Structure formats: structure tokens, C-alpha cells
């Protein structure tokens, strides 16, 4: 899955392989996915900028709240937000 540049997306752990997700400890989940909003009560929105051409299925995102850049995140770990969510 890829998005158009400027699309508002959120981290979606439900998109993970369930065996992979179950294999992570809570500490590992927070370490690797906390910056994406894992463990927070509300969704953390990002702006999708682009897919990295030299690393297919990896993307560049901007955290809307902090304006920090996230790189090399798997595109399929995100989903587009709905109007009701944003």
C-alpha cells in the first residue's frame, strides 16, 4: 500500500503479521513503535511525504505535533485516517 503525498496517516498495529506482533514484548513495542503513537490513548497523525525509492515499501513521514521526520518506516504499518478521526 502506498499513499499520495500529503495524506494524513496513523500507525496501525492491526496491519502487522499477528505472529510478529505477539512475539514482541510490551517493552519492545513501546521502544520501536512508541514514537508512532503506540500506547497512547489518541491516534498520532502523520503526513505521508513519499515512499523511499531505494527502499520499496518504506516511507518518509512528518509527525504533525512535533514536526519531526520519521524515515524507513514500513508503509503498510499505516492507514489513512477517516474524517471522523481527524
Distance between CA atoms of residues 27 and 72, nearest Å: 21
Q: What are the tens digits of pLDDT across the range 25-71? A: 999 999 999 999 998 888 899 999 999 999 999 999 999 999 999 99
Distance between CA atoms of residues 18 and 15, nearest Å: 8
Is 24's pLDDT higher than 90?
yes
Q: Are strands 8-11 and 78-80 parallel, antiparallel or unpaired?
A: antiparallel
Per-residue model confidence (pLDDT) at position 31: 93
73 pLDDT tier (thresholds 50, 70, 90):
very high
Distance between CA atoms of residues 71 and 60, nearest Å: 5
Is 77's pLDDT higher than 80?
yes
Residue 10 backbone phi and psi in degrees, to 5: -135, 155
Beta bridge partners of 73: 59
Provide the residue ranges of all domains of the chain, joining segments of one domain with +: 8-80
Q: With contact defined as beta carbons under 8 Å apart, do 24 and 86 qualify?
A: no
Amino acid at each position: 500500500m502506498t499513499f499520495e503525498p500529503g495524506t494524513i496517516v496513523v500507525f496501525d498495529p492491526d496491519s502487522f503479521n499477528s505472529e510478529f506482533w505477539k512475539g514482541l514484548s510490551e517493552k519492545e513495542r513501546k521502544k520501536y513503535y512508541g514514537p508512532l503513537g503506540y500506547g497512547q490513548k489518541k491516534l498520532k497523525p502523520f503526513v505521508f511525504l513519499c515512499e523511499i525509492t531505494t527502499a520499496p515499501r518504506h516511507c518518509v513521514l512528518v509527525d504533525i505535533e512535533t514536526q519531526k521526520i520519521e524515515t524507513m518506516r514500513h508503509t503498510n504499518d499505516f492507514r489513512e485516517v477517516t474524517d471522523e478521526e481527524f
